Amino acid sequence: MNNVLTLPIRAVSQKIVAGEIRPSELARASLKLTSVVKPLNAFITVTDKLAEQQSCESDERQARKELLGELDGVPIAVKDNFCVSGDYTTCASKMLADFVPPYDATIYQRLRDSGAVLVGKTNLDQFAMGAGTVDSLYGPSKNLWGSEMMELYEFDDYFHDEEIQFSKAACETDNWHIAGGSSGGSAIAVSTGTCFAALGSDTGGSTRNPASYCGLVGLKPTYGLVSRHGLIPLVNSMDVPGILTRTVGDAVTILNKIAGPDPLDSTTYKSPFTPLEVSLPLDISGLRIGLPKEYRCSDLTEEVDENWRMVGQLLEEAGARVFPVSMPHTEYSIVCYSVLNQCEVASNMARYDGLEYGHRAEIPGTLEELYAKSRSEGFNDVVRSRILAGNYYLLSENYEDFFIRAMKVRRLISDDFENVWKSGVDLLLTPTTLSDAPRYQDFMSEDNQTQCSVQDFCTQPANMAGIPAVSVPIKLSKKGLPLSVQLMAPKLCEERLLKVAKWIEDIVKFPRLVLKDESLVK
């Protein structure tokens, strides 16, 4: 069972179809593993009873030879800002600690309709406002890589590198590596093998950032390709459901099930979605790949820069034309993003008033006092600060100087991408993050807003422009931590994006983790 939990989805599906493993056995193994790796704090809620019920339904379909496809019986996890009917959806906050939605998010429902088995709701920064998964009401999440839990795992047979030594110092209190955020719980769930895929959300890099730090594939689709219905909103104009998997092929499998128009989300594209196929051989020659020179910023570490250059060289040696391009408004992107983020946060958080919706404080007094106390108790400092900043930017005397000006800059940033595509560039290649996963102590030495500005430097422009982007793991740093690159493509060019991502994946052969001892999950 130990190797089964870290197989690609297609491979484990073949075992289910052949009757070599029952979905209920697979679910029990996944749930057992969630207990083993509990110190990493990947899950807010483990849905053990629901997983048992769903996997038994898959058992019955297996027995009748009526399986619903590749995902039938396959364990998945969902970030705890997606609604799941009958189970808590907390956004890792006190404000929604008791919220049980009466409906399912569209994309979760589509996965369920495909037979997927939910093993749990994963941890995140409160209301997805963060880049480390350290600001959760339920405590911070810890990266598997460099942690004491690494002793349970070994590398796939094809990877041998005696120079890689994992730091035992990471086992010390408060000296572990962050998983990234805000979808860090989803990333840990996949990297540990407790599930085969997990849903995240991506507003400025919240899927790609943890994917990079945890050695996974992190996909942010084109804005509007995947329904946001049932995703509790952060920034409506930038939120996109994301996908975290161990391989590009698995990301494609999930995307093919969840993409497409949704009458419950008016922002989705109305045309039917054609499933992608990326397994066919790809001829790289002739591709034009741009390297945005503005992404080589002052905080970029030498190792990440070297990793970026290496992947560019691999593509060039295969016949692609790789050359520098300019994205002149990149330096303004993170500031523009911060203003727009906080404006929309202020608007979206207004619904949590303690009367109709959200945590209600126990306080006698006026209505205004009830509002103030409920919101003060329900939101943490990060959320409150963004609400206050957003309301300030939206004041009538500030509106033109902040919100309108930021919208104009956003158009310029979007135009940078359009101009690059019009010049004939097929894809952009950049770093995903500026370093390998920081240690918790170092990460917490800066405030949330500063960390988001650093961590999301390379990722948030794609959200500003609404284009698809994917993070692909490449190799390990000298500290034994994952390093990744990011690919970006024009809107709705997911197939091109993911074909090249798979080509890179096949060439670099990033070291995959498998459990050493199968008795852990029996």
Q: Mind telling me the catalytic residues?
A: 79, 182, 206
Q: β-pairing, 117-122 with 240-245?
A: unpaired
Residue 154 burial by Cβ neighbours in a 10 Å radius (0-12, 13-18, 19+): middle
- Pick the closest to residue 122 from 85, 91, 148 (CA basis): 91
Identify the residue whose tokens are 């941890």: 123
The H or E element spanning position 440 is helix 440-443
- Pick the closest to residue 222 from 467, 464, 497 (CA basis): 467
**Which residue type occupies 155?**
F
End-to-end CA distance of the chain: 8
- 362 SS3 class: coil
Specify the DSSP class assigned to residue 83. Answer: -
- Pick the closest to residue 401 from 343, 347, 348 (CA basis): 343
Q: What is the DSSP track for 223-249?
A: TTTB--TTBPPS-TTT-EEEEEESSHH
Query: Cα(229)–Cα(191) distance, rounded to whole angstroms?
Result: 27
